[in-house]
């Protein structure tokens, strides 16, 4: 398959050093990369660095025409499948928003018809300035997309929002752009995903929980968002980063998960309930730490709300519902029973005793049990790849439901 072509436009800020790493990572990810630099950008990192990393000529001067048969800035503008401005200074954002073309980068940006992603990088006060905000809003109205900067320590010594997104984040955004382009059936779909464990409090120190890391649910949410869905992720406590483009709602207990999910359910056409929610919680909780004492300590437990059963009983007519079943034995029996009793369209089942498919790992081996009787095995793979297979099956079911 032909490589996707990325034109990286680099403007002058301290984050240019990140753009060098970004170039390398894009090439390693299989993209063909050309680089255009402003004169200011060359003051931070030389064009030779980007030439070595991209393995291609670096464009810095509108009047430096290497091939007399072509106009360079038009040629690379037409060549690109996607343009990424990283770092994008306040200056280049202002030029683009106001149609100014006075160097290689700005003339190329006005000439391209390819989609443009903008990764701002600047001082926190510059980022918050009304003029910058106005220019970004103007560009958003034109269809340009922004990758928000991170918060943290800035080169100027300030703390705040303005750090360019990390190269790894930007590579993922670029990859997701093409995933979205290739999956039109997902565009604008409202999808609710649950992930992670819940914690059931005993006292201010102790709680009951389970071994779920949330990795499977987060992978599903990230892939659905990459395909163009509007994703809401309701997550119990995890150490995972929020996937790009996903609306995260953090909860802790099974009751909080129940209240949040049932409140959001009616607004989503697909619900994928991946969270490992506690089945029981302590009947009594304590505001003060229970002190150690001689003898045994018995804790009476009570049942939590069955979220999946509630969703199945009150589902909308054109709503697709997917549940998960982590089993230690008789997986098929329990998965099919759960599918029927909870009124869901598909159960994603896995054996937690099989090596590589239990909690906390990066791999999974699952079986998809569908209401129409079909059974699909997904052999051992990464949770990212498993998420793709699960979403493919869910969308196939959803399209049948919409007929």
Report percent pLDDT > 90 for the chain. Answer: 82
Q: What is the pLDDT of residues 351-387, one digit of tens each?
A: 888 887 777 788 999 999 999 999 999 999 999 999 9
Instruction: Pick the catalytic residue from 9, 156, 264, 274.
Output: 156
> For 200-222, b where at least 16 C-beta lie within 10 A, e where not — what string?
bebeeeebbebebbbbbbbbbbb
9 is catalytic: no
Determine the average pLDDT of the residues in 195-223. Answer: 95
Average pLDDT over the chain, rounded to whole? Answer: 93
Q: Is 66 annotated as a binding residue?
A: no
**Residue 65 in this model has a pLDDT that exceeds 60:** yes
> What is residue 151's predicted lDDT score, i.e. its pLDDT?
81
pLDDT one-digit tens code per residue, 106-156: 999 999 999 999 999 999 999 999 999 999 999 999 999 999 998 877 777
Residues in the chain, how many?
A: 403
Beta carbons within 8 Å of 59's beta carbon, 6+ residues apart: 34, 35, 36, 37, 72, 73, 76, 104, 108
Under 8 Å between Cβ of 373 and 339: no
DSSP per-residue string spanning 185-221: GGTT-EEEEEESB--EESSSS-EE--S--SHHHHHHH
Convert the pLDDT of each residue in 291-314 to its tens digit. Answer: 998 999 999 999 999 999 999 999
- The stretch 237-257 carries a mean pLDDT of 94
User: What is the enclosing helix (H) or strand (E) of 260?
Assistant: helix 254-265
The larger pLDDT score, comparing residue 64 to residue 9, is at 9
Q: Please tell me whether 289 is known to bind a ligand.
A: yes
* 5 is annotated as contributing to ligand binding: no
State the average pLDDT over residues 252-258. 97
Confidence of residue 321 (pLDDT cuts 50, 70, 90): very high
Helices (H), 306-346: 307-313, 331-342
pLDDT digit string, tens, across residues 160-187:
788 999 999 999 999 989 988 888 999 9
Does 3 appear as a known binding residue? no
Confidence of residue 68 (pLDDT cuts 50, 70, 90): confident
- Confirm whether residue 342 is marked as ligand binding: yes
CA distance 128 to 57: 35
> C-alpha distances in angstroms, 163 versus 25, 150, 209, 278, 381?
19, 5, 36, 39, 34
Q: Which of 53-62, 223-232, 355-364, 378-387 has the lowest mean pLDDT?
A: 355-364
* Predicted confidence (pLDDT) at residue 30 exceeds the cutoff of 50: yes
Q: What does 66-118 look like in DSSP terms, one character per residue?
A: S-TTS-HHHHHHHH-SEEEEEEE-HHHHHHHHTT---SHHHHHHHH--S-EEE
Average pLDDT over residues 51-67: 92
The pLDDT tens digits of the residues spanning 328-344 come to: 888 989 999 999 999 99
Residue of higher predicted confidence among 161 and 321: 321
Percent of the chain surpassing pLDDT 70: 100
Distance from chain centroid for Cα 50: 28
Residues 271-280: pLDDT tens digits? 999 999 999 9
β-bridge partners, 401: none
Select from 268, 74, 285 the least CA-distant residue to 199.
285
What domains are there in the chain, each with its CATH number?
5-178 (3.40.50.1950), 184-402 (3.40.50.10300)
Query: Where does the pLDDT of residue 2 fall: very low under 50, low under 70, confident under 90, or very high at 90 and above?
Result: low
Mention every residue, 6+ apart, whose C-beta is less than 8 A from residue 390.
220, 272, 322, 348, 366, 368, 378
State the pLDDT at residue 358: 73
CA-wise closest residue to 258 among 303, 306, 321: 306
| φ/ψ bin of 281: left (φ > 0), alpha (ψ from -120 to 50), beta (otherwise) | beta
Span 254-266, mean pLDDT?
96
111 contacts 73 by C-beta, under 8 angstroms: yes
Confidence check: pLDDT of 1 > 60: no
The pTM is what? 0.81
67/165: higher pLDDT: 165
- What is residue 32's predicted lDDT score, i.e. its pLDDT? 96
Predicted local distance difference test score (pLDDT) of residue 352:
82
């Amino acid at each position: 398959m032909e490589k996707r072509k990325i034109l990286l436009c680099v403007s002058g800020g301290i984050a240019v050093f990140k753009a060098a790493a970004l170039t390398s990572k894009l090439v390693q990810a299989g993209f063909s990369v050309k680089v255009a630099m402003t004169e200011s950008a060359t003051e931070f990192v030389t064009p030779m660095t980007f030439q070595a990393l991209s393995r291609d000529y670096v464009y810095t001067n509108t009047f430096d025409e290497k091939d007399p048969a072509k106009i360079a800035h038009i040629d690379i503008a037409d060549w690109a499948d996607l343009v990424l401005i990283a770092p994008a200074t306040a200056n280049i954002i202002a030029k683009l928003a106001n149609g100014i073309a006075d160097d290689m980068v700005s003339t190329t940006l006005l000439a391209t018809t390819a989609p443009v992603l903008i990764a701002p990088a600047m001082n926190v006060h510059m980022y918050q300035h009304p003029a910058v905000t106005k220019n970004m809003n103007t560009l958003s109205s034109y269809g340009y997309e922004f990758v928000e900067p991170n918060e943290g320590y800035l080169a100027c010594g300030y703390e705040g929002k303005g750090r360019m997104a990390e190269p790894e984040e930007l590579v993922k955004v670029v990859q997701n752009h093409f995933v979205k382009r290739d999956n039109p059936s997902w565009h604008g779909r409202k999808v609710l995903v649950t992930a992670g464990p819940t914690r059931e409090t005993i006292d201010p120190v102790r709680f009951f929980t389970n071994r779920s890391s949330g990795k499977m649910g987060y992978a599903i949410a990230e892939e659905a968002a990459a395909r163009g869905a509007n994703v809401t992720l309701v997550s119990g406590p995890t150490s995972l980063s929020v996937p790009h483009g996903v609306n995260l709602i953090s909860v802790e207990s099974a009751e909080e998960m129940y209240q949040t999910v049932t409140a959001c359910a009616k607004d989503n056409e697909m619900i994928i309930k991946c969270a490992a929610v506690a089945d029981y919680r302590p009947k009594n909780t304590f505001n003060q730490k229970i002190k150690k004492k001689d003898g045994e300590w018995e804790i009476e437990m009570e049942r939590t709300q069955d979220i999946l059963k509630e969703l199945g009983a009150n589902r909308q007519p054109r709503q697709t519902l997917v549940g998960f079943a982590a089993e230690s034995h008789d997986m098929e029996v329990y998965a099919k029973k759960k599918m029927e009793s909870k009124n869901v369209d598909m159960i994603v089942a896995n054996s937690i005793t099989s090596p590589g498919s239990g909690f906390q790992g990066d791999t999974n081996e699952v079986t998809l049990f569908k209401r129409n009787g079909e059974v699909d095995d997904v052999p051992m793979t990464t949770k990212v790849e498993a998420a793709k297979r699960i979403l493919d099956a869910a969308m196939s079911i959803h399209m049948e439901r919409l007929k």
